[in-house]
Structure 1
Amino acid sequence: MIELTDLTRTFTTRRGAPPARALAGISFGIDRGEIFGLLGPNGAGKTTTVRILSTLLTPTTGTATVAGLDVVTEAMAVRRRIGVAFGGERGLYDRLSARDNLRFAAQLYDLPRRDTKRRIAEVLDVVGLADAADQRVEAFSRGMKQRLHLARALIHDPEIVFLDEPSSGLDPVAARALRELVLELRLRGKTVLLTTHYMFEADELCDRLAVISEGRVIALDSPERVKASVRVASVLEVDVLDDHTGAVRAVSALPGVVSVQVEQTAAASRLIVRIASEGATDLPIVLGVLADVRTGAAFERRPTLEDAYVALLEERAS
C-alpha cells in the first residue's frame, strides 16, 4: 500500500546557509491492513516522512507511492485515498459542534450529501463521540479533540490512515481509548502509519516498525525482532539516593554493561543498566559495587522495546 525508495528531503534554513537534511535516503514498504510504526528522536524525520506521504511536502529526490499512486504527480488522487490526523489543537473549529466540523470535512472531500449524514453518524460512533455530537468543540477535553481529529480523518472512508503522535499529551485513560481505536481501524481493513514517542504504544500496536535516526532507517522489523536484534539480554534498575555520578562510573566499568541511563524520580536517581549477555553482570554484582552508596528499590527485568530503541540510537552515535 505504501512504498518509499531512496527518499530524501532537504530544507533551506536561512539565506547562505547549507541546506538542512531531514531525510537521507529512506526506503521501506507497508503492506495492506498493517499497523506500521515510525519511531525516532525529535528531528529524526518522522513527521517529514508523513508529510511527504500525505502530499503536504514534496521529496527532494527519490519516490514514494501510496496505493500505487505517486505522491507528487498524482497528489490529488492520493488525497482521496488517505486520512490524516496530526492531532493537537489545530485543524478543528472550536465554535462549531463535532457534527458541524465533520460536515465541513465531508464537503472538502466532496462526499455526496445523501451519504454525509450517515458517514458522520458512523465515524462519531467509531470514535465514541456520538453522545457529544452537538456539543461545541471548545468544551471538549484534549482526548475528545484527538478522537474528533481521527473522525475527520475517517469521514471519507479512506484506505490508509496517517496518525502523527496521536496520543501525545493525553492522560492514560484517553491514551488507552485511542489505542483501542487504532486496533479497531485494523479490524476494519485500514492500513495505519503511526508515529509515536511512546515505545510501549508501538510495541502494543505495531505489526512492524522502522526506527529512524538522522534521516536514515536504522532498524526495520517487527517489535519482537527489533528487541531481539540488539545486544541487550537483561536490564537492571537501581534507585540511588546519593549523588549518582560515582555510581554511574562504577557500574559502567562492570563486564557486559552496554549502557547506564539515569532517570530522575521524585526521591532518587534511577540507574537503568543494560547488560549485553546473560551472566556477565547481575543485580548482586551491581549492588556490590554500590555498597558505599545509599540505594533504594532494585530489580531485574527483561528488555523492552524502549531498551532496544535506546541501544540502537547509542550504537548509531558510537
Structure 2
Amino acid sequence: MLAIEADALRRTYTSRTGWPRSRRTETEAVRGVTFEVKPGELFGLLGPNGAGKTTTIKMLNTLLLPTSGTARVFGHDVARDPVAVRHRIGYVFGGDRGLYDRLSALDNLRYFAELYGVGARDQKRRIAELLDLVGLVGREKERVEGYSRGMRQRLHIARGLLHHPDVLFLDEPSIGVDPVAARDLRRTVADLAAAGTTVLLTTHYMAEADELCDRIAVIAGGRIRALGTPGSLKSRVGDRDVLDIEAYGAGDEVIDRVRRVPGVRGASVEDRGAMQTVSVQTDRGAELHAPVLAAFDGVRLGRVVSREPSLEDAYIAIVEEAAGSAAPEEVPA
C-alpha cells in the first residue's frame, strides 16, 4: 500500500470583488497534481512561492478539501475519511506559530500529547524519546520564549511525532534557521526517514533537498513539471556549464544582456546584501567567459567560478521552462 496517493488534485479559490456590483473571480491554485509516495520514502515537493506547494499539502493533511480529484494516505481518502487520515499523519510548518511561549517545552509536549490522545501511561516515555531525538534533553524545562529559532523548530518536530504518525509533513521546516541549526534539523529528518517514517518535505533550500530526498517533484503554476530522483533532475542540465559571478549593482538590464548572449541557456540572481551572485548557464564547452563578462560592462565584479550544474540549476531551468509551457513534464526515476 502506498503512503500517499494524489490523483488529479485540483483546488480553486473563489472570491468576490467590487461594489455595489460584485464580480466573482476564480483562482486555480492546484491544477491536476498527481504523484505517489512509497512507505518510508523521503519525498520532496519543490516550487516557487505561489506554485501550489502548501495548498497541496493542506489537501493531503485534510486542512483543505480538494475541488476535484482524490488523495489517499495509507488507503484512507482525505475527503471521505479525514479522521482516519489525521491519526496517521503529523504536520510541522516553518515559523514561530504553533507553540505556547510561556510554557516549557515539556509542558508544551504534555499539552499536545493530551490533544493527540496519547495515553497517560505512554506520555512520559514518548516525550522523553522525542526530546532525545530532537536534542532538547536538558533544556526541556525552560520556557519556549527563550528558545532560538532552531530549538523551536526541533520542538515543532517533536510535537508532530507525539502520536507515532506514519507520515510526517514538513512544510519549510528550516525557514529562518541558522546554518548550524539547519544542519541539526536535516540530521533529525534523515534519522526519521531511516527509522521508517514517511516524510513529505517542502523547502526552498536546494542543497537540503539534494541531501535528504529520495525523489523530488517540482511544482510550478499549480502543476507538476518534473518528477524523479535528484540525480535524474540534475541530468536535465547535464549538457551545461555554470558560471557563478559576484557582481555589485547588476540591474535587470544587465541580466537581460547576459541572457541574450549566444549560447547562454539561462541566468538567475541571488541577492546577498550589497553583492549579488549571478549564476549563468551556458552550453557545455562553449567557453563563454569573455562575452558573458563583457555583458556586465560598467558593473564591478568579484570572483568568477566555473562549476558543474547543481540541483538548484536544474530547478531554475525547470521553473523557467514551465513559465512558457502549460503541459506538465516528468523525468523518470
Q: TM-score, normalised by structure 2?
A: 0.89
Question: Pairwise mapping of residues 90-169 of structure 1 onto structure 2 (< 5 A)?
Answer: 90-169=97-176
Matched, 1:76 2:83: yes
* Secondary structure of 2:95's aligned partner: coil
* Secondary structure of 1:10's aligned partner: strand
Matched, 1:315 2:321: yes
Measure the CA separation in 2 of the matches of 1:11 and 1:40.
Answer: 19
Measure the CA separation in 2 of the matches of 1:153 and 1:11.
Answer: 28
CA contact (8 A) 1:232 1:258 kept: no
Q: What amino acid is aligned across from residue 101 of structure 1 in structure 2? A: N
Q: What amino acid is aligned across from residue 14 of structure 1 in structure 2? A: R
2:331 is matched with: none
* Secondary structure of 1:151's aligned partner: helix
Q: Which runs of 5+ in 2 are unaligned?
A: 18-22, 325-333
Matched, 1:304 2:293: no
* Secondary structure of 1:163's aligned partner: strand
Matched, 1:192 2:194: no
Q: CA deviation at 1:263?
A: 3.7
Measure the CA separation in 2 of the matches of 1:127 and 1:243.
Answer: 42
Structure 2 vs 1, CA of residues 297 and 83 (structure 1 numbering), >3 Å: closer, same or farther? same
Aligned residues: 317
Q: What amino acid is aligned across from residue 4 of structure 2 in structure 1? A: I
Question: Pairwise mapping of residues 53-68 of structure 1 onto structure 2 (< 5 A)?
Answer: 53-68=60-75
Q: What amino acid is aligned across from residue 14 of structure 2 in structure 1? A: T
Q: What amino acid is aligned across from residue 47 of structure 1 in structure 2? A: T
Q: What amino acid is aligned across from residue 288 of structure 2 in structure 1? A: D
Of 285-294 and 170-179, the range deviating more from structure 2 = 285-294
* Secondary structure of 2:305's aligned partner: strand
1:283 is matched with: 289
* Secondary structure of 1:79's aligned partner: helix
Q: CA deviation at 1:306?
A: 1.1
1:13 is matched with: 15
CA contact (8 A) 1:200 1:306 kept: yes
Matched, 1:172 2:179: yes
Question: Pairwise mapping of residues 9-48 of structure 1 onto structure 2 (< 5 A)?
Answer: 9-14=11-16, 16-48=23-55
Q: CA deviation at 1:183?
A: 0.2
Q: What amino acid is aligned across from residue 3 of structure 1 in structure 2? A: E
Q: What amino acid is aligned across from residue 25 of structure 2 in structure 1? A: P
* Secondary structure of 2:266's aligned partner: strand
CA contact (8 A) 1:38 1:209 kept: yes
1:204 is matched with: 211
CA contact (8 A) 1:255 1:280 kept: no
Structure 2 vs 1, CA of residues 58 and 133 (structure 1 numbering), >3 Å: closer, same or farther? same
Measure the CA separation in 2 of the matches of 1:187 and 1:96.
Answer: 31
Q: CA deviation at 1:246?
A: 6.5
Q: CA deviation at 1:247?
A: 4.9
Q: CA deviation at 1:265?
A: 4.2
Measure the CA separation in 2 of the matches of 1:58 and 1:249.
Answer: 42
2:188 is matched with: 181
Q: What amino acid is aligned across from residue 315 of structure 2 in structure 1? A: Y
Q: CA deviation at 1:213?
A: 0.7
CA RMSD of aligned residues (A): 2.0
Measure the CA separation in 1 of the matches of 2:25 and 2:294.
Answer: 52
Question: Pairwise mapping of residues 225-264 of structure 1 onto structure 2 (< 5 A)?
Answer: 225-230=232-237, 233-240=240-247, 247-264=254-271
Structure 2 vs 1, CA of residues 133 and 264 (structure 1 numbering), >3 Å: closer, same or farther? closer
Structure 2 vs 1, CA of residues 136 and 268 (structure 1 numbering), >3 Å: closer, same or farther? closer
Structure 2 vs 1, CA of residues 219 and 242 (structure 1 numbering), >3 Å: closer, same or farther? closer
Of 155-164 and 286-295, the range deviating more from structure 2 = 286-295
Q: CA deviation at 1:6?
A: 0.3
Structure 2 vs 1, CA of residues 122 and 246 (structure 1 numbering), >3 Å: closer, same or farther? closer
Q: What amino acid is aligned across from residue 209 of structure 1 in structure 2? A: I
CA contact (8 A) 1:4 1:29 kept: yes
Q: What amino acid is aligned across from residue 300 of structure 1 in structure 2? A: S
Measure the CA separation in 1 of the matches of 2:299 and 2:136.
Answer: 53
Of 302-311 and 56-65, the range deviating more from structure 2 = 302-311
Q: CA deviation at 1:109?
A: 1.9
1:224 is matched with: 231
Structure 2 vs 1, CA of residues 174 and 245 (structure 1 numbering), >3 Å: closer, same or farther? closer
Q: Which runs of 5+ in 1 are unaligned?
A: none
Identity of aligned residues (%): 52
Measure the CA separation in 1 of the matches of 2:298 and 2:81.
Answer: 66
CA contact (8 A) 1:232 1:274 kept: no
CA contact (8 A) 1:5 1:62 kept: yes
Q: CA deviation at 1:130?
A: 1.6
Measure the CA separation in 1 of the matches of 2:170 and 2:298.
Answer: 49
